[in-house]
Amino acid sequence: MIQWFLLAAVGLIATAFLIARDVAVFSAEKAVEFVYNLEGETTKSESYEAAEQACSEGRYLDAIELMKAYFAANPRDVFAARRVAEIYEKDLQNFSAAAMEYEDILRLPLPAVRWSWMAIHLCNIYTGKLNNQDRALELLQQIVIEHPQTPAGKKARERLEMLGYEIEIVDEPDAAPEPGSGAMPKGFKPRS
């Protein structure tokens, strides 16, 4: 009888451990989703909906104002900040304002993949609409240095190679060059 009791106790403890583990994993995933809204999902609040409604009615400046107010109240909803940049870029064709909004987004603590794709998009604006090749080059270099393992890091490396830059690993610690000075950062050299 003692053996059956011990066997039941071990089974009960094992079952409790497995259930506790599942609950902890589920809770952790939900907490991360809540804190870092990584999927670009919005919490369909009235203020967000009002901003989208204003945008759909063609009141883009009102939409930007409402979206910025929503983002100020919900600073973890990065999608709202990106939506402001999209309105400037696509609806108002104000590429300077869009670039400034994307620059602000890049200062936020984003996952590497999302940050690097935002930076690639900003590079496209700089090279295509604003003719600011220097800033685009700086961003491409930053992507390759800080996030080389991401798909955007691979794309940035390919773009730099198309522009004639070779990327090599340099072991000596050099001081970072001043932006716009023309000096290449650690790991880069002009193709000969």
Convert the pLDDT of each residue in 59-83 to its tens digit: 999 999 999 999 999 888 888 999 9
123 and 104 housed in the same domain? no
Q: Is residue 49 part of a domain?
A: yes
Q: Where are the alpha helices (DSSP H) in the chain?
A: 2-36, 46-56, 60-73, 78-86, 95-106, 112-128, 133-146, 151-162
Can you give the pTM of this predicted structure?
0.65
130 and 160 housed in the same domain? yes
Residue ranges of the chain with per-residue pLDDT less than 50: 42, 169, 171-172
Q: Is residue 176 packed enough to be buried (19+ CB in 10 Å), middle (13-18) or exposed (0-12)?
A: exposed
Q: What is the pLDDT of residue 41?
A: 54
124 and 191 housed in the same domain? yes
Cα 156 from Cα 160, distance rounded (Å): 6
92 and 119 housed in the same domain? no
Q: Is residue 51 part of a domain?
A: yes
103 and 123 housed in the same domain? no
55 and 71 housed in the same domain? yes
Domain boundary, last residue among 109, 137, 157:
109
Q: Find the domain containing 46 and state its range.
A: 33-109
Q: Is residue 79 part of a domain?
A: yes
CATH number of domain containing 68: 1.25.40
104 and 137 housed in the same domain? no
Q: Is residue 10 part of a domain?
A: no
Q: Is residue 171 part of a domain?
A: no
- Alpha carbon distance, N-terminus to C-terminus of the chain: 84
56 and 105 housed in the same domain? yes
103 and 122 housed in the same domain? no
Q: What is the pLDDT of residue 185?
A: 60
Q: Is residue 88 packed enough to be buried (19+ CB in 10 Å), middle (13-18) or exposed (0-12)?
A: buried
Q: Is residue 117 part of a domain?
A: yes
Domain count, the chain: 2
What is the rounded average pLDDT for all residues in the chain?
A: 84
- Return the DSSP state at 189: E
Q: What is the pLDDT of residue 74?
A: 87
Sequence-distant (6+) residues with CB within 8 A of 1 are: none
Q: What is the pLDDT of residue 69?
A: 93
97 and 135 housed in the same domain? no
Q: Is residue 9 part of a domain?
A: no
